[in-house]
Amino acid sequence: MNRKAFFHLCANGAEVRNFIICKADYRAAFNLIGVCAANTDALVVSFSLEDTHPHILLYGTYEACLAFKNLFEKLYSRYAAATRDKGDNLVLHCELYPIGDDVDYLRNVAVYTIIQATKDGKPVMPYDYPWGTGALYFRSGFHIPIWYFDSEGRIHEPVPFRDLGAREKRAILHTRSLSIPGDWLTCNGLILPENYIDPHIFEGIYQTCNRFRVYLSSPRKREEEMLAQMAQYRGVALEDQEARRICGDLCKQMFGFRDPRRLNGQQRLALARELRRSYHLTFRQLSLMVRLPESEIRVFVR
């Protein structure tokens, strides 16, 4: 469990259609990634935000990256609940996909996390997209980060977080319970990614500018292979009624009765593992069927 690895955090855009509905949401999600980076042991390697979902490449132990996922879901959901009409009903459920040891797959995923805006038709290249980190990688030391420019094209000097007023701090953090280091730089109301992202980790995945260029223009086949692998890991969401029937049948077969509530913790985990192996149910549905927290399911069931 202590082995560090790369993980791809994202949400299903079809399920989270209203993830971002205005520029203020982009700013909030952007800053909350920084808040999560400051308050977990996961390293953010790259990310981009789309109106339907985020894409984030993390590095760390599974537990650390899971903690990042859970915290981001909680903080952004609270932000949305506080700033939108009650009828909006945003439900943010992210998935945490292990990358594994396939270097080619890692390179596909890493570039995928920064090209979303361009791939989806926005007239912008990854290094000019303000709601992602494409501006950080394979750049010379003589460029001005895009976040230093305001909406009028004027350049502003970064300001340490500790030097901001209380109202400015609240507007950046969107949470009263967590903060960021005082020496972290902010600019134009944003937590600068340079505070918590080491570009050399991302660049080390490709090693050379030319290899990065090749993957930046990855063909559709590579993308389809990556999406297929993500779908396989995510699992199959059956109708709850059918999933309960399957769970009851399997519980009776394994333990002699149909009600998982009669099982102890280890037995419930054993049932969840067999449901995952035989029927490939999603982690969320496994949690519902065997009545264990999803965070526990994700750690002990693969």
Distance CA 30, CA 122 (A): 18
Answer yes or no: pTM beyond 0.85: no
Query: Residue 80: exposed, middle, or buried by beta-carbon count in 10 A (0-12, 13-18, 19+)?
Result: buried
Distance CA 247, CA 259 (A): 9
| Collapsed DSSP state (helix, strand, coil) of residue 79 | helix
**pLDDT (0 to 100) of residue 234:** 67
Strands (E), 23-174: 43-49, 54-60, 94-98, 159-160
**pLDDT (0 to 100) of residue 154:** 95
**pLDDT (0 to 100) of residue 69:** 95
Structure tokens at 237: 């969401």
Distance CA 196, CA 71 (A): 16
Which contacts (CB < 8 Å, 24+ apart) does range 196-200 have?
Answer: 196/34, 196/37, 196/38, 196/43, 196/44, 197/37, 197/44, 197/45, 197/46, 197/133, 197/136, 198/43, 199/136, 199/137, 199/139
**pLDDT (0 to 100) of residue 199:** 96
Distance CA 274, CA 208 (A): 44
C-alpha distance from residue 72 to each of 24, 65, 212, 271 (Å): 16, 11, 29, 29
The whole-number mean pLDDT for each consecutive block of 10 residues of the chain, a chain of 302 residues, reads 88 72 95 98 96 94 94 94 78 86 92 88 91 94 90 94 96 95 97 97 96 83 70 70 88 91 90 85 84 81 76
CB 70 within 8 A of CB 295: yes
**pLDDT (0 to 100) of residue 279:** 78
**pLDDT (0 to 100) of residue 219:** 62
Distance CA 205, CA 35 (A): 25
